[in-house]
A and B are shown apart, each in its own frame.
Chain A
Amino acid sequence: MTRPGSLSPNGLDAAPPNGVPMLEVHNLVKHFPIRSGVFIKRVIGHVKAVDGISLTINRGETVALVGESGCGKSTTARAILRLVEPTSGQVNLDGVNITRLGKEGLRRARREMQIIFQDPYASLNPRMTIRQILSEKYQLLGSQVTKSTISDLLDTVGLAEEYADRYPHEFSGGQRQRIGIARAIALNPKFVVLDEPVSALDVSIQAQIVNLLEDLQDQLGLTYLFIAHDLSVVRHISDRVAVMYLGGIVEIADRDDLFDRPYHPYTQALISAVPIPDPRVERIRETIVLRGDVPNPANPPSGCRFRTRCWKFEQLTESERRVCIEQPPPLNLVPGARTHRAACHYAAVREVVRA
């Protein structure tokens, strides 16, 4: 039996261009226990934040993980990096199983995998100068700082050297995000998680940071996992896109396939809800308005988890609906596709970007 979000048989859809893929995630699970009781804490249930995710990212590729708040996209990223311990599953980084690594091994592996956070205000220590923040990184991961290290690093992210001895509060949001990026790329990692890196920035600054991230990927050969809810930036920056809902991947495809030919009703609703900055397009475009909110991940619906909000479910007959209620839909290839998968019993294309 295939669980929702798992790939069969081995999760490798896109054949790696040279040897092992940069990142392989097999059936990753992260459940948070819910405890109750005053003196004796008993576990009374689990929040199934990530419930069986499989994903492969090739070298130099950018894969976006999108979905609404609470879908588990950030927890997935943190579990991949072992910033939270996964409940089960396996993560291979450049062929090395990092889920089994001990403390010292993990510290070495951290040189290869880094994260850039959404909020550059919260992620920099206000009492340290930029030079201290960046130097600390080298010390923590056991590397030497030479005289030119910091200035070279700042130059790479588009900041002048004289900024090195200032404190974070002296910078604007965009500049702070550049510092966050500098810290992440300091030790030449192979794999970087970008967790909503431009969401907190002003519109005119977002494009600067997106361009910088793309330049760095070219120069340093980085592989990105891009966590986002802004689908416009996702369409620009990613090669492939995975859509998450309530802890599982519901659709995964190459970028243009996903936006031009989405199969899953949730993907279709999500794309249709993003307003496009073009009044004439907006006037003729139809928005699929979903009912209600995302259900509680501690108690997800049976069968297909999206069915309680699904616009398609409402159009089905009683017997068709029973399939959605009873059977979790596997993440299957859509007709005629080699890499495009959708987890829906009644998956069918619906164009939502233009019409």
Chain B
Amino acid sequence: MEDIGLDASAPLLEIDDLRVHFKTDRGVVKAVDGVSWSIAEGETMAIVGESGSGKSVSAMTILGLIQSPPAVFPTGDIRLRGRSLMKMPEKDQRKLRGREIAMIFQDPLTALNPVFKVGDQIAEMVRNHQKVSRIVAKRRALDLLGEVGIPNPAVRLNQYPHEFSGGMRQRAMIAMALSNDPQVLLADEPTTALDVTVQAQIMALLEKLQEDRNTAIVLITHDLGVVASHADRINVMYAGRIVESGTTDEIFYQPRHAYTFGLLASLARMDHRRQERLMPIKGQPPSLANVPKGCAFHPRCVFATDKCKAAIPPLEPVAGIGHVAACVHSDRVAVAYEERVAT
């Protein structure tokens, strides 16, 4: 870590006013449009949003996986311990990626190379960042497969990805992500492709690894159930922007943005006896090439007034420290939420 001069007192990972735009034939797609957050050691922060909300693009930008062009970054910075990743030479960035920051993806089959043995892929990852022999790297791969709960790791080491089941592949990818003891783990829909019983195994594994290593986890998902059981803090994204941010309890029990409220109200609950009808959010998510003026959510919002169309509402403090929402009608949302709870 010394060789790239990081500041131990700065936040572990910090995203500051990040904008990721794509120039297309149909106009500028603002996939991420002014997003800021930070995460500390041992913390789990969730980024919640629907497809096209920009949650994955922001994570991929951190890892330098967004190509420019076509992408442009009009503003913004990504800082690891105070050191800007965006201003860093490519060579230094590569050192950090995979070592200090690692990512696990939704679909392990596309993230693992089908023509190489799983053990070799993990060993390669180790040798990319550490000066060790092949044998030591292979031994490290063996230990990692055991640590993520893969039975018979010595046999599995020499198998190819297609010989693994979905849950086992996801474990192998987690092993690969952990191979250099990263401080930040970006988990993009880590369990969406898995069955619920396997999802429970994988989330339990991630929690245990986090406890052992004090890893910070950025959990990117649309599944509010997973978020409720695993996140410390939540950022809710809509159309490329954070619309509400707070602790997990604040978001679930004191939602102040109309979209957060709508999302929570629309859920079918397994632990509730049947309600008469579900309360959907009307309309469709906007195209990012053509985001509505003002608050991007206003065409679908039951609280919307002319004020919502005038300008993009800024994130402002609502109830609680650090709880912010970008909603003109946060007071009315609060009242509506209380009424809903009361019934």
Contact = CB atoms under 8 A, between A and B. Distances in A.
Contact of B228 (A204, A272, A273, A276): A276
A279 B252 contact: yes
A41 to B, nearest CB: 22
Interface stretch (B8-16, B268-276, B288-296, B327-335): B268-276
B317 interface: no
B106 to A, nearest CB: 13
Given A232-B269, A276-B225, A289 B201 contact: yes
A203 B224 contact: yes
B199 interface: yes
Interface string A154-179: 00000000000000000011110000
Interface in B296-313: 300
Nearest to B234: A279
A269 to B, nearest CB: 6
A85 interface: no
Interface residues of B, number: 49
Contacts, number: 149
A349 interface: no
B51 A202 contact: yes
- Best-buried of A202, A235, A256, A285 by chain B (most CB within 10 Å): A202
Interface string A114-155: 000000000000000000000000000000000000000000
Given A259-B270, A293-B168, A277 B197 contact: no
B51 A275 contact: no
B196 A207 contact: no
A292 B268 CA distance: 29
Contact of A211 (B195, B197, B272, B278): B278
A204 B280 contact: yes
Contact of A279 (B228, B263, B279, B285): B228
B284 interface: yes
A232 B266 CA distance: 12
Contacts of B252: 277-279
A270 B198 CA distance: 10
Nearest to B238: A204
Nearest to A260: B273
A353 B273 CA distance: 11
Contacts of A98: none
B269 A277 contact: yes
Contacts of A270: 196-197
A270 B199 CA distance: 11
Interface in B245-275: 248-249, 252-253, 262-264, 266-275
A210 B268 CA distance: 10
Contacts of B263: 203-204
A207 B200 contact: no
B127 interface: no
B235 to A, nearest CB: 16
Contact of A276 (B201, B262, B269): B269
A231 interface: yes
B277 interface: yes
Interface in A53-106: 68-69
A316 interface: no
Interface in B173-208: 195-201, 204
A214 B277 contact: yes
Given A202-B50, A206-B266, A277-B267, A256 B277 contact: no
Nearest to A271: B270
Interface of B: 50-51, 151, 165-168, 195-201, 204, 222-229, 248-249, 252-253, 262-264, 266-275, 277-282, 284-285, 300
Given A68-B196, A206-B266, 20 more contacts: A68-B197, A203-B50, A204-B262, A204-B263, A232-B267, A232-B269, A233-B268, A236-B278, A259-B271, A272-B200, A274-B270, A275-B226, A276-B229, A277-B269, A279-B229, A281-B271, A287-B200, A289-B200, A292-B151, A353-B270
5 contacts: A69-B166, A203-B267, A207-B268, A236-B269, A353-B271
